Amino acid sequence: MLNTRSGDVAQQVSTGSLPGWERVDALVRDAHEHLLADRDGAVADYIPTLAAADPELFGIAVVDVTGGAHDVGDAVTAFTIQSISKAFVYALVAQELGRDLVGERIGVNNTGLAFNSVVALELNDGHPMNPMVNAGAIATTALVPGATAAEKWSRLTAAMSAFAGRHLAVDQEVYASESATNDRNRAIARLLRSYDRLDGDPEEIVDLYTRQCSLLVSAHDLAVMGATLADGGVNPVSGEQVVSDAVSRDTVAVLASSGLYEHSGEWLLEVGVPGKSGVSGGVVAVAPGKGAIGAFSPRLDKAGNSVRGQRATARLSRALGLNIFASRSSNAELPTTDRTRGVT
């Protein structure tokens, strides 16, 4: 990675705060009501159990760094975390092994190609490039500490549960369904192994990865997990220091660069908040120092991202002032409500 070490200069932060409680609550409810009739997209059908999801489900949660929660709709309905797990397993591994080792083994740069691309691996000499694509996520799971698969799973689930502030369990039906249809991930793991970029048995590692994607969460859980990253690694509900502030910072940076895969640039341009999606319909977005948004709606766009989840996140990012790139001239005299201009 680029070496930008600058001696003993302390890391400073620039964050801000959310609007008042009642204002946030009203805006979350407004976003849900505004998008409730939106039926664009289709439920994922390449995993049989996901195809059976109720397309009408729609929940939004916002959790701030003090633990304040705003849940609307189906915010506590359970679904499998899928690819959103990648961010939190990366944080676990970076915490345990350090950013330099993980940066060298996994990388942090966008591939510019699809999340399950084999070509991306071949073009980069077997280097997975970042932990958000499947190759990088599988390689990251392989780095979870533990002498056996059981030990690795125990460490992984403990960390994921600590992020959520409660014990997370596997949806066994989804796990079985995905295990029967994940030949491409097995092929990716074997290709990584052929380039000496994967330690351990590829089949065992893919099984661990499939189980991690099958953990059950809700939109509320995602918001708590995201808010933990937003607050320097401290879970705002349990008060536990799950990972360090440095690991939280690095994880959010990786989400910004690659969380939405080859569409990450478009996401940052339109939403302006680091985020991650999953094919079960979940979306999490992290606003450093402020909190996080969790959303759930099973209808997906062609890239596999929740349509209503994305639109709700974009609307709330503007309305709550979450865009990390937004600024205003110190000479401007615009009312605070101006930040909601253009929200659809």
Active-site residue set: 83, 86, 209, 261, 279
Cα separation values, 36 from 19, 283, 304, Å: 24, 16, 20
Angle at 159 between CA 273 and CA 72, to 5 degrees: 50
Q: Which of 83, 60, 91, 65 is nearest to 218 (CA)?
A: 60
Is 14 annotated in a binding site? The answer is no
Cα separation values, 59 from 21, 47, 74, 106, Å: 19, 22, 4, 33
List of residues 6+ apart from 62 with CB closer than 8 A: 24, 28, 69, 70, 223, 291, 292, 293, 294, 316, 320
Encoded tokens for 319: 């309305």
List of residues 6+ apart from 301 with CB closer than 8 A: 40, 41, 307, 310
Is 90 annotated in a binding site? The answer is no
Q: Which amino acid is at 111?
A: T
Is residue 37 packed enough to be buried (19+ CB in 10 Å), middle (13-18) or exposed (0-12)?
exposed
Is 261 annotated in a binding site? The answer is yes
Is 170 annotated in a binding site? The answer is no
Q: How far is CA 242 from the centre of its chain?
A: 16
Angle at 324 between CA 321 and CA 326, to 5 degrees: 65
CA distance 168 to 189: 26
| Helix, strand, or coil (residue 79) | strand
Is 134 annotated in a binding site? The answer is yes
The answer to whether 320 and 18 are in contact (CB under 8 A) is: yes
Q: Can you say which residues are annotated as belonging to the binding site for substrate?
A: 83, 134, 178, 185, 209, 261, 279
Q: Can you say which residues are annotated as belonging to the binding site?
A: 83, 134, 178, 185, 209, 261, 279
